[in-house]
Amino acid sequence: MPNENAQTAKLTLGPLLHHWTPEARRDFYFRAADEMPVDSVYLGEVICSKREPFFQDHLPEVIDRLKSAGKEVVMSTLALVTQPREVKAIREAADADLIVEANDVACLEALHGRPHIIGPFINVFNEGARDFVAKNGAFRVVLPVEAPATSIKVLADNAGKLEIEVLVFGKQTLSIAMRCYHARANGLTKDSCQFVCGLDPNGLNATTVTGDDILTINGTSTMSNGYGVLLHELDALRTMGVTHFRLSPQAVDMVEVARLFRDTLDGKLAPAEAEAKLRPLTEPVPYVNGFYYGRVGLSWNDRHAA
């Protein structure tokens, strides 16, 4: 049986994983507040702490704008917490009465007993882990992108009041490292990176020796080359008990992307029709959904083709 939240379909905008200019980032969130049919917006730096200062001055205005538009605002933490000041920042966000998305287990002690969200970088793959984080104070769990449908069903089933969120659009983050390959690819080191990740607003393609795109490099993270797209799977996910559906910001028209997913969730668009409208917005990036079907992640199960 699906959990008691199965009829709820909340659309969320995950944290921006790429390094955009402060002005582009600010304007993106202003547009999210005014035009995107999303219920929650995740802010905060997830990939590299060196990027954080760039957007700090704009945060108060962005938060106010989003809240005035009726959006739930969440502050996402780093996926790799390595310094005491980063743990301190987590405590400060919680003390500031902000909802925090924890992306590193180092956050759990700081957030113990406080309502918070578990992000996709904390590997909740079974009921034991799910129940542990819920007992610690989590009210929502964003499942790892590698979770197949069989695992999602188990985790969403009998989740009670715990909300379950799944990424349904965007490049999938596969790993986070201490070192920065984005800098190395440009002949630099992490300490003297010159923020070259900002040159690639949708990430840097990594290719095989035969010239095929296979991965995307984004700062210290490695991502899928293709966009994870689960349009056709939305109804199945809702039946399983998934309550929140995440869109990851990409350098495309995210307002229109959000509208297509919202209309599909609301039954105004058939998945095939929504996909046909989505593809011109995202070309030439391919689509992937292999993880959902228990296959290699870069595969696309086009079972809906005529």
Residue ranges for the known binding site are: 48, 180, 193, 197
Cis peptide before 284 (omega within 30 of 0): yes
Q: How far apart are CA 55 and CA 85, in angstroms?
A: 17
Q: If 0-12 CB within 10 Å is exposed, 13-18 middle and 19+ buried, where does residue 185 land?
A: middle
Angle 291-274-302 from CA coordinates, rounded to 5°:
40
What radius of gyration do the chain's Cα atoms show?
A: 18
Question: Known binding site for [4Fe-4S] cluster: residues?
Answer: 48, 180, 193, 197
> Crossing angle of helices 254-265/22-35, nearest 10°?
30
Measured N-to-C along each axis, helices 127-136 and 149-156 cross at an angle, to the nearest 10 degrees, of 40
Ranges of H-type helices in 112-253: 127-136, 149-156, 181-185, 234-240
What is the residue type of 5?
N
Whole-number Å distance between alpha carbons of 271 and 255: 18
